[in-house]
Amino acid sequence: MHTAEVAGTSSSGLLDSVVHIGRFTAVMYKPHYVLYGVLWVLALEGTAALVSQPDSAWHPTGATVLRIVVVAFVLLYLRMVDEQKDLDYDRVHNPDRLLVTGAISATELRAAMAAIAIGAIAASLTLSVISALMIAAVLAYGLALWGLERLSETIRTDIMANLAVTYPVQLLVTAYVVLSAADTGEVHATWKTASVALIFAGGFLQFEFARKTFRTPRTDEHFYSNALGATGSTAFGLLCAAVAAATDIALVQPWTYPSAQAMVAWVPLALLALPIWGAVKFARGSKPDYPVLPAVLFILTLYIVLIVQAITLT
Rounded to an integer, the average pLDDT of 107-132 is: 96
pLDDT in tens, 255-314: 999 999 999 999 999 999 999 999 999 999 889 999 999 999 999 999 999 999 999 997
Residue 187 neighbours by CB distance under 10 Å: 26
- Cα separation of 102 and 295, whole Å? 33
Q: What is the pLDDT of residues 228-260, one digit of tens each?
A: 999 999 999 999 999 999 999 999 999 999 999
Least confident segment among 47-56, 66-75, 292-301 = 47-56
Helix (H/G/I), strand (E/B), else coil: 42: helix
Q: Is the pLDDT of residue 4 over 80?
A: no
C-alpha to C-alpha distances, 23 to 19, 20, 80, nearest whole angstrom: 6, 5, 13
Sorting pLDDT into bands at 50, 70 and 90, what band is 100? confident
Check pLDDT > 90 for residue 27: no
Answer whether residue 5 shows pLDDT above 50.
no
What is the Cα gyration radius of the chain? 21
CATH of domain 1-188: 1.10.357.140
The whole-angstrom separation of Cα 207 and Cα 217 is 19
The helix (H) or strand (E) run that includes residue 146 is helix 129-151
Query: What pLDDT is recorded for position 217?
Result: 86
Domain ranges of the chain: 1-188, 190-314
Average pLDDT (219-232) is: 91
pLDDT at 11: 61
Cα–Cα distance measured from residue 32 to residue 224, given in angstroms and rounded to the nearest whole number: 23
- pLDDT (average), residues 98-122: 92
**Mean pLDDT over the full length of the chain:** 92
Pick the more confident residue, 7 or 82. 82
| Cα 182 from Cα 172, distance rounded (Å) | 15
pLDDT per residue over 191-212, tens digit each? 999 999 999 999 999 999 999 9
Per-residue confidence at 99, pLDDT binned at 50, 70, 90? confident
pLDDT of residue 101: 86
